[in-house]
Structure 1
Amino acid sequence: MTFVQLIECRTSRFDEMNRLMDTWVEQTKGKRTASHSVIGKDRSDASHFVEIVEFPSYEEAMRNSKLPETDRIFQEMVALCDETPTFTDLDVVRDEALYAANARRFFEIAASPGELPPLDGLVAENYRDHDPSNEQDTTGVDELRREVGTWRSGFDFGFVIEDQISEGDRVCTRWTWNATHTGDFMGLPATGKRVVMTGVTIHRCGDDGRIAEAWWQYDRLGLMAQLGALDALER
């Protein structure tokens, strides 16, 4: 579950604090776990600042807090404040931007090289997948892993996200799939051919942000034609 921390402080030395944060960012490059950070200034009180820091999870936030650089910078930050900063820890229970980000991450993970990473932090346990190319819906994370594995064993591929629209708990993504046929797929041995396919996927996300359901539409017939699977039918 995505985790957000609010840090509030009062200071008349914000420029110095800003430079201090730049130092922390440089010192923790490649180690910090925050995914997004925003600092705002109170319009009615120029000395009141609020930082909003987003993490993939509470556990990642704790890893970030335990970095030696974080502790050192925090002590220096406190010295620049007029009073001790306050912290508010929040578990995100709804975030439409998170839904779109998770849908995009799904495509990135599906196309990632090497062993398929875990999906339980991204996909709900009772996930349901609607693909008109399959006789039955894919249900559950394990079945989804097998379905994605079928494509990964047949192709080296990547997605280009062309458009993405988010509304409520649904995210619609229009994508282009670029691939090389490197292994057996639907009984067709590897051809080494480079192929392209377009499609649209609608994801439904739960309150925790995880993907709970998906509907797919894509040009599978066009893909099979590019692989030469329709040649015998045309003779």
Structure 2
Amino acid sequence: MTYVRLIDCRTRRFDEMNRIMEAWVEQTRGRRTATHSVIGKDRADASHFIEIVEFPSYEEAMRTAHLPESEKIFREMVALCDGTPTFTELDVIRDEQLYAANARRFFETLTTEGELPPLNDLITEDCHSHDPVNAQDTIGLDALRREYDVWRGAFDAAFTLDDVIAQGDRVCVLWTWNARHKGEFLGITPTGRDVTMSGMTLLRFSEDGKIAETWWQHDQLGLMEQLGALDALET
């Protein structure tokens, strides 16, 4: 079970404390087990700091805590604090990553039945989309909706998200798209064929959790082959 430690302290010597922490990170490289660390400063009190440290489990946290360097840094940090830091030990019982959740909702919405929703709760008005199969990038929510409608009009489709990786404001999605060709697509009349395509999309999110930029990579040549568009070229 993921484990989180909150360290609450007050200090007017944060710059010194930060240098100690950077030295500790270097000294324990390859042996400490924390997966994520965030330090926040109280907007109402510049001497009040909270560090949030995430570990794969409580046992891994204890392994890091018992390193000789960890015991030394704790004594040095306490000496820089106004009073003794307080610790809150948490077992994580729910972990929702907003950007990753919105990425999943985006792909689900793209293939929803009926009219395409406005998408303004998922995509910024000036979203910038990069797709190597397009001669120019697509910019703006209205232009993106028109592009999505072209695909929706041509195919009954669904995405399977094979992997979703989130880091910072970026989410990378590895997906498989399965569809039935029901309408005209790039001059190809409906074939009724079942087709599939694999691809990957990198999404950059704005601070409010909306998609601000996308990069698409997908096997459209393979799709065209499945639709029979390459048959004339081969004869």
The equivalences for 1:200-219 within 5 A come to: 200-219=200-219
What is the RMSD of the two structures over their aligned residues, measured on CA atoms?
1.2
Shift of 1:118: 1.3
Letter in 2 for 1:129: S
Aligned equivalent of 2:165:
165
SS at match of 1:134: coil
Structure 1: unaligned runs, 5 residues or longer: 1-94
Letter in 1 for 2:127: Y
Bigger mean CA offset, 197-206 vs 96-105: 96-105
Q: TM-score, normalised by structure 1?
A: 0.59
**8 Å contact 1:96–1:166 — kept in the other structure?**
no
Q: TM-score, normalised by structure 2?
A: 0.59
Distance 1:196 1:233 in 2: 21
Letter in 2 for 1:221: L
Aligned equivalent of 2:101:
101
2:135 matches 1:135: yes
Aligned equivalent of 1:154:
154
Bigger mean CA offset, 217-226 vs 117-126: 117-126
Percent sequence identity is 60
In the TM superposition, what whole-angstrom CA distance separates every residue of 1:129-173 from its partner, at most 9, and x where no partner exists? 000010111101000000000000100000000001000000000
Aligned equivalent of 2:178:
178
- Structure 1 consecutive aligned stretches of length 4 or more whose deviation exceeds 6 Å: none
SS at match of 1:214: strand
Distance 1:130 1:104 in 2: 19
In the TM superposition, what whole-angstrom CA distance separates every residue of 1:51-109 from its partner, at most 9, and x where no partner exists? xxxxxxxxxxxxxxxxxxxxxxxxxxxxxxxxxxxxxxxxxxxx981101111111111
The equivalences for 1:15-26 within 5 A come to: none
Structure 2: unaligned runs, 5 residues or longer: 1-94
Distance 1:232 1:189 in 2: 15
SS at match of 2:147: helix
Aligned equivalent of 2:69:
none
SS at match of 1:179: strand
In the TM superposition, what whole-angstrom CA distance separates every residue of 1:191-215 from its partner, at most 9, and x where no partner exists? 0000000000000000000000000
Aligned equivalent of 2:224:
224
Larger Rg: 2
Aligned equivalent of 1:188:
188
Distance 2:142 2:126 in 1: 10
Shift of 1:126: 0.9
2:233 matches 1:233: yes
Aligned equivalent of 2:111:
111
Distance 1:132 1:139 in 2: 14
**How many pairs are equivalent?**
141
Aligned equivalent of 2:46:
none
**8 Å contact 1:205–1:211 — kept in the other structure?**
yes
**8 Å contact 1:127–1:213 — kept in the other structure?**
yes
